[in-house]
Amino acid sequence: MTPSKISRLGAAAVFVACVAASFATAAVPPGSQPVRKLLYVGNSFYYYNNSLHGHVNRLLNGALPRDEREKYQSFSVTISGGHLKWHDVGAYLEAGIGSSSFNENNEIQTAEGPLRFDAVMMMDCSRCPYDEATRPVFHEYVKRHSATIRTKGAAPYLFMTWAYADRPEMIDVLAREYVRAGKDNAVPVVPAGLAFARSLQRRPDIALHVADRRHPSLEGTYLAACTVLATVYGMNPVGNRYTAGLSAETAAHLQQVAWEISREFGAD
C-alpha cells in the first residue's frame, strides 16, 4: 500500500469515527410500518454478485422462521450505469411487478392480486451526488420520486453508495448529500457507504471492491446486504447463518460492522 493511499485511508478513518454520530440527529429513522414488500431501484451497484436483493433475501431466510419468511418479497429494477433520473418509478409501481412467479416446477403461476410494495429503496449513480454538476439533479429526483412513491402508498428509502477504492475521501460528500436528501424529504437512508468506510478502516485486508475500484466484491455486496437487513428491516445480522460462502471470520466482521453503523447512524 502506497503512502498516499495510507494517508487517504487515515483521513477517511478519522471521518468515519465521528460521521455516524454527527449525522445521527439528521438521519430519518425508518417508519413504524414493517417493510415486507420491497422494490430496489438502482444500477449495477445492486446487480453485481447475483443481485443485492438476493443476498438480503437469504439473510432474511437465516433470520426468520419459514412461515414468517414467506411474508417477505423483493424485486430489483436496475439500469447499467443508471442515474436516478433515468428511472420511471411511478411506472414501475403500476407495472404489475410481482403479479406472477415461478413454482417449483418452473411453471408460471399468477398471484391472486397485484403486489403492493411497502417501500422503494433508491440509489443514484456512484458520482451523481458527489459531482457538483449532477448534485442538484440528484436532489431534484429524490424529491420527485419520493413524492411519487408516497402517492402509491409506499415508503421511500435511500441507499447511500460507497467511495471508490482509490478515493476513500469521497464518503465525506456522499454521506453529506444522502443525509441532506433524506432529511429534506423525510426519507430514511441505508448507510452502506459508511459501512464500507468502517470496514476498510478496521480490516483493509478485506477487499470490498473489484478491480475497477467502483463495483462491489462479494464481500462488499454482503456488507451492503447486512446493512439493508439492519436498517430497513431492523434485524441484527450478527450470527446470521447465511454467509454467502465467505469465511465465518470474514462474515462475522462484516455483520458486526453493518449492525454498528446502522445503530449509530439511526441513533436518537
What is the DSSP annotation of 22-67?
A: HHHTTPPPPPSS---EEEEEE-HHHHTTT-HHHHHHHHHHHHS-HH
Identify the pLDDT of residue 109. 85
The pLDDT of residue 140 is above 60 = yes
* pLDDT on residue 164: 98
Tell me the mean pLDDT in the region 237-245.
98
Q: Determine contact, residues 170/126, Cβ cutoff 8 Å.
A: no
Q: What is the pLDDT of residue 254?
A: 98
What would the pLDDT profile of 187-212 be if each residue is shown by its tens digit?
999 999 999 999 999 999 999 999 99
Check if the beta carbon of residue 129 is closer than 8 Å to that of residue 170. Answer: no
pLDDT at 183: 97
pLDDT at 22: 55
- Least confidently predicted of 114-118, 144-148, 200-204, 263-267: 263-267
CB count in 10 Å sphere of residue 156: 23
CATH topology for the 3-18+29-265 domain: Rossmann fold (3.40.50)
Average pLDDT for residues 157-173, to the nearest whole number? 98
Distance (Å, whole) CA 145 – CA 223: 26
For residue 99, what pLDDT band results from cuts at 50, 70 and 90?
confident
For residue range 16-48, list pLDDT tens digits in order: 555 555 555 456 667 667 899 999 999 999 999
- What does the domain layout of the chain look like in residue ranges? 3-18+29-265
Average pLDDT value for the chain: 90
Alpha carbons 50 and 30: distance in angstroms, whole number: 26
Q: CA nearest 154: which of 38, 242, 266?
A: 38
185 CB-near residues (< 8 Å, 6+ apart)? 142, 143, 146, 156
pTM here is 0.90
